[in-house]
A = this chain, B = another copy of it.
Amino acid sequence: MAPSRIPDGEQRGWIVPIGGAEDKEHDTAILRRFLKLSGGSSADLVVIPTASRLADTGDRYEKLFLELGAAQVEVMDFDTRRDCHEPGRVQRLERASGIFFTGGNQLRISTMLGGTPVAQAIRARNAQGVTVGGTSAGASILSEHMIAYGVEGASPRADSVRLAPGLGLTNRVVIDQHFRQRDRLGRLVASLAYNPFAVGIGLDEDTAAFISPDNTIEVEGSGSVTVVDADDLQFSSMHLVGENEPVCLLGLGVHILTKGATFNLNTRKASAGSLAPPKT
């Protein structure tokens, strides 16, 4: 689904995919920045723990965000698709200044929320300027084309990834998480091989891509964000190979960004940003 239309004179909100296992005890840099972009001490957050099967996931984030200074946090879980049609919940989302998806299984979010008024409300809120983020499964769900599951390994095979429609806040990226820790380059690259229009972003644990309203990725956290750009792809054998065969892909561009570096999704240019201060 394409992103919601941004109302005239307004700016889209930040989109914040996090690679999972973000620091919750020490510098909490990622969660603090998410909170700041959601209104800081006047933030009114909704936490959606639907991806998780653990009963206390939502409560844990509620406690964390309150400790970090949020004015209000509400945990909103969805057990059925009918829950996602409740006007009360939709109205609650319409008051939120930030919306956060926890980890778990991204297919639980997409199968529950997909196409419902709740999903539409989240999409509309982001288009109106509200920050929407998520960690692990909650990161994958944010884009239009979502990696549902896949096999691991550094080089791509034709069957190494399964895509599914996500929440569609942006169609510029395909997101993968736990990137360094679970060896997911192959499946991220395979997802681009199907159709190179999007940019692949692989998020290490405790690392987030803060995607600004003007589509610049800023990195936060202790790891790196691997950007795979297939814009100049010279050749792909994806259409020629059998299911378990390796795929030939020539001409990929790769940038490994750490905190301070940026990538502009409109121009597809990477910058060292504050990592390369001018000589004085």
Residues of A participating in the B interface, judged by any CB pair closer than 8 Å? 152-156, 179-181, 183-186, 189, 202, 204, 222-224, 226, 228, 234-235, 237, 240-241, 245-258, 260-261, 270-272, 275-276
Please give the distance in Å from A201's CB to the nearest CB on chain B. 12
Report the nearest B residue to A152, measured CB to CB.
Answer: B183
* CB pair A240 B155 closer than 8 Å: no
One complex includes copies of this chain to the number of 2
Report the nearest B residue to A221, measured CB to CB.
Answer: B246
* CB pair A155 B223 closer than 8 Å: yes
* CB pair B249 A255 closer than 8 Å: yes
* CB pair A258 B272 closer than 8 Å: no
User: Are A154 and B155 CB-contacts (below 8 A) given A224-B246, A252-B254, A275-B248?
Assistant: no
20 residue pairs of the A-B complex, CB under 8 angstroms, read A153-B181, A154-B154, A154-B184, A154-B202, A155-B256, A180-B186, A224-B248, A228-B254, A235-B261, A235-B270, A241-B258, A247-B258, A248-B256, A248-B258, A248-B261, A250-B255, A250-B270, A251-B253, A251-B255, A252-B254
